[in-house]
Every structure is written in structure tokens, then in C-alpha cells.
Amino acid sequence: GAVVSQHPSRVICKSGTSVKIECRSLDFQATTMFWYRQFPKQSLMLMATSNEGSKATYEQGVEKDKFLINHASLTLSTLTVTSAHPEDSSFYICSARETRNTEAFFGQGTRLTVV
Amino acid sequence: QKEVEQNSGPLSVPEGAIASLNCTYSDRGSQSFFWYRQYSGKSPELIMSIYSNGDKEDGRFTAQLNKASQYVSLLIRDSQPSDSATYLCAAPGYSSASKIIFGSGTRLSIRP
């Protein structure tokens, strides 16, 4: 299957700082990328959908000023968690797909711990 | 009604048996369906995609699609302990723009 690379895999940051997570599609052009958050033993929660060159569409309840998403090219999307707090600690996962009806491939995930 | 529904399990199957995972969907316009496997603490990985009615086989995995009944299933033959994971059914949201809609997942446990 296609490869989606997410970096970093783990990050620990201090409360009040910002963290950037990168998601790259390595062998295909991703017209759409998705960002999820997952708490232990819970389902994937979609945070936002981003299409290349457009503003991201955020799910209800997700603060767009806190979770900044940039999808500047067909192979790269970034999620920046601004002014992180301990309650933002979670497993963040990106996925990418080439076209509307095709499957999406997931990155390895980023485990964020805010101390 | 949820757009993609799965039994949350846990589903316990003896090693070597067939594990059957089921999924129903509400949007008749859905054209494609995906099964993902997620191990605890890891991100989901794609196992199968199915686009047309009938069966699709890949090794020990068979996906079955019945569009008339709005039903998708995944069969795992000769179940192994390494198959123990959460299995997610997904479909592009026809009426939800460009989203992919995931079921809540079925937790599968293969007992030795």
C-alpha cells in the first residue's frame, strides 16, 4: 500500500508551548488529508479535513485557532497544537488519500504528552 | 442512525477458526468500503478495499459486500493470535462531502 509518514512519533512539551506535527504522502499525491485524535481505548475522533490549497474544515467542537492545519502541497500537511495544555495530551494521527472514493492511508501517529 | 455501524465486541474466536466481522451502512450512495486493523497503541492499517458486490479475497482475508442489504463483512480464515486487534469498517461519506466515515470498531480476540 501507499506510504504516509508522520513525524515526530513522540513528543513531550511544556504547557503553553506549541508543537508541530508533519504528515507526508511519500509515493502519491494526497488531495485530501485528515487529522484524528484518539484517547486510550476510545474510537478515532476526526478533528479536521484538509484539501490541498484550501482552508481546513474542522469538526464541531474542535478549536481552529488552537489546532492549526496547513495543507500547502499535495504531499504535506501539518498540524500545530498551539498553547498546549495537559488535556491536549493524546495520540494524533493523520491519514491521506489520493481521490474521493479511494482508501486513505494512515501515518504512524504522534503521541503528544504535555507536561 | 450512525452512518457506519459495527458491533463493538469483544469477539472471541479460537485459534484456527474463522472470525466474521460485520458492518452495516446507511448511505446507499456509498461506492467503496474499507477494512482497517488497529493494534493497541498503533495507527490503523488498511487490510482490504472493496468496490463491487460479492467477495474479494486476499490471503486469509475475504471481504464481502452486499449493496442491496447495505452490509459489508470481513472474514479471517485460520485465525492467529496476531489477528487480535480492533477492526474498523469505513466508507467515504457520500452526503458528507469528502469525509471518510468510520465505524466504532470491533475488538477481536483470538484465544489459543
Cell representation of residue B39: 493494534
Task: Specify the pLDDT at position A85.
Answer: 97
Nearest-by-Cβ selection for A49 from B31, B51, B99: B99
- In Å, how far is A18's CA from the nearest CA of chain B? 23
The pLDDT of residue B97 is above 80? no
Give Dmax (Cα) for chain B: 43
Please give the residue of chain A at the shortest CA–CA distance from B32.
A101
Task: Specify the pLDDT at position A55.
Answer: 87
Q: Which stretches of A39-114 are DSSP H helices?
A: none
The pLDDT of residue B95 is above 90? no
- In Å, how far is A43's CA from the nearest CA of chain B? 6
Nearest-by-Cβ selection for A106 from B43, B97, B98: B43
Q: Which of A54-58, B6-10, B92-96, B102-106 has the lowest mean pLDDT?
A: B92-96
Is B46 close to A101, i.e. CB distance below 8 A?
Answer: no
Is residue B58 within 8 angstroms of chain A, CB to CB? no
Question: Which residues in chain A touch residue B94, judged by CB atoms under 8 angstroms apart?
Answer: none
A56 confidence band (pLDDT: 50, 70, 90): very high
Is B92 close to A49, i.e. CB distance below 8 A?
Answer: no
B94 confidence band (pLDDT: 50, 70, 90): low
Is the Cβ–Cβ distance between A90 and B43 less than 8 Å?
no
Is residue B105 within 8 angstroms of chain A, CB to CB? yes
Q: Please compute the mean of the pLDDT values over residues B36-61 and round it to a whole number.
A: 96
Is B44 close to A32, i.e. CB distance below 8 A?
Answer: no
Q: What percent of chain A has a predicted confidence (pLDDT) above 70?
A: 99
Nearest-by-Cβ selection for A93 from B32, B43, B104: B43
The pLDDT of residue A60 is above 90? yes
- In Å, how far is A97's CA from the nearest CA of chain B? 10
Which amino acid is located at A34 in the chain? Answer: F
Task: Specify the pLDDT at position B92.
Answer: 85
CB neighbour list of residue A61: distance below 8 Å, 6 or more residues apart: none
What average pLDDT does the structure give for chain A?
A: 94
Instruction: Measure the CA–CA gap between B8 and B24, rounded to whole angstroms.
Output: 13
Q: What is the pLDDT of residues B62-77, one digit of tens each?
A: 999 999 999 999 999 9
Q: Which of B58, B64, B72 is nearest to B30 (CA)?
A: B72
Give Dmax (Cα) for chain A: 40
The pLDDT of residue B1 is above 70? no
Is A51 close to B98, i.e. CB distance below 8 A?
Answer: yes
